[in-house]
Copies of this chain bind each other. A is one copy, B any other.
């Protein structure tokens, strides 16, 4: 019998899923539009059917394939009860027991956690954190997500919501955050944060500069391209972002003293443009005990597969199958 798991990545717009073997190989994938399903049970039903078809496809090749479980990464996912709780980016309101729904549909164990935790497990099982027992995983997307692993275990905390580093306040009375508070790390160190920084720089140099810019064209990739083309403002935006991130990461080391910190997501793909200022500021701000001990590394998960691999790791981790 060859066991497979389904890794499911629930996003605000799309839901991706794939069948993954125990070596982290994705055999087949599929997707639906999350927004097509006003009721979560309808999405579960549709995705489950597609997963069953994928499993049948695999069984055409080898009859021995069997679905052993389902892992789900979702915004505001709570590991303890398998529910999505009050996710601002989804249409589904309140507490949605998604793992239970999948379990009922597919009759296999189903576990759920937030997307950053899932990706952190992916890094531990199939990426650069293989063999590490203590590390921090940071996703630099629209926001800043994080997963913390201590002693080989994901840190869920008392309520299942540990690891919200994006919502540590890094600058008191700083930029307004969607969470209602001010100065959260993700307002500075994320794809949307660097855009805000870039606009601030442009404005500070020339208050009228903004009039000549089509704001909707400016994203982190735009700033990256500008910086690589020699634009000093764009370069400085990366520098400022990296400095703040390095500072925040240095503080985070004082909590769990990790072996490494992994950066994942679009912004992390900027390479040295981001990593150079991050590491410089990180080492400068570290307590002497920790200096030159903690690696800051790009995630080695492939950008497109990470979410599925992470969700698959979650269930492999649960099944404890070597």
CB-CB under 8 A from A134, the residues of chain B are: 157-158, 162
CB nearest neighbor in B for A250: B169
Per-residue CB contact flags for chain A residues 128-169 toward chain B (1 = under 8 Å, else 0) read 000001100000000000001011010111111111110111
Tell me the complex Cα distance, A102–B84, Å. Answer: 51
Contact of A247 among B161, B169, B251 (CB under 8 A): B169
A258 CB-CB contact with B under 8 Å: yes
Q: How many residues on A have C-beta within 8 angstroms of the other chain's C-beta atoms?
A: 41
Q: Beyond A150-B150, A151-B153, A247-B172, is A158–B289 a contact (Cβ under 8 Å)? A: no
A293 CB-CB contact with B under 8 Å: yes
Inter-subunit contact A158/B255 (CB<8 Å): no
CB distance from A1 to the nearest CB of B (A): 32
Inter-subunit contact B287/A167 (CB<8 Å): yes
CB-CB under 8 A from A288, the residues of chain B are: 179-180
CB-CB under 8 A from A45, the residues of chain B are: none
CB distance from A185 to the nearest CB of B (A): 9
> Counting chain B CB atoms within 10 Å of each CB, which of A161, A181, A287 scores highest?
A287
CB nearest neighbor in B for A132: B158
Inter-subunit contact B155/A150 (CB<8 Å): yes
Tell me the complex Cα distance, A134–B162, Å. Answer: 10
Tell me the complex Cα distance, A155–B159, Å. Answer: 18
Inter-subunit contact B287/A157 (CB<8 Å): no
CB-CB under 8 A from A133, the residues of chain B are: 158
Tell me the complex Cα distance, A159–B172, Å. Answer: 31
Inter-subunit contact B257/A169 (CB<8 Å): no
Inter-subunit contact B258/A157 (CB<8 Å): yes
CB nearest neighbor in B for A289: B161
A46 CB-CB contact with B under 8 Å: no
A107 CB-CB contact with B under 8 Å: no
Inter-subunit contact B155/A256 (CB<8 Å): yes
CB nearest neighbor in B for A293: B159
CB nearest neighbor in B for A160: B257
Per-residue CB contact flags for chain A residues 21-41 toward chain B (1 = under 8 Å, else 0) read 000000000000000000000
CB-CB under 8 A from A160, the residues of chain B are: 257
Q: Beyond A133-B158, A134-B158, A247-B172, is A287–B255 a contact (Cβ under 8 Å)? A: no
Inter-subunit contact A255/B252 (CB<8 Å): yes
CB distance from A9 to the nearest CB of B (A): 21
A317 CB-CB contact with B under 8 Å: no
CB nearest neighbor in B for A252: B255
Inter-subunit contact A290/B179 (CB<8 Å): no
Inter-subunit contact B161/A257 (CB<8 Å): yes
CB-defined A-B contacts under 8 Å, sample of 11: A134-B157, A134-B158, A134-B162, A148-B256, A151-B155, A157-B256, A158-B294, A161-B257, A161-B289, A169-B247, A181-B287
Q: A165-B254, A255-B255 are in contact. List 8 more A-B contacts (CB 8 A).
A: A150-B157, A159-B290, A160-B257, A162-B254, A164-B287, A169-B250, A169-B251, A172-B247
Residues of chain A having any CB pair with chain B under 8 Å: 133-134, 148, 150-151, 153, 155-165, 167-169, 172, 179-181, 247, 250-252, 254-259, 285, 287-290, 293-294
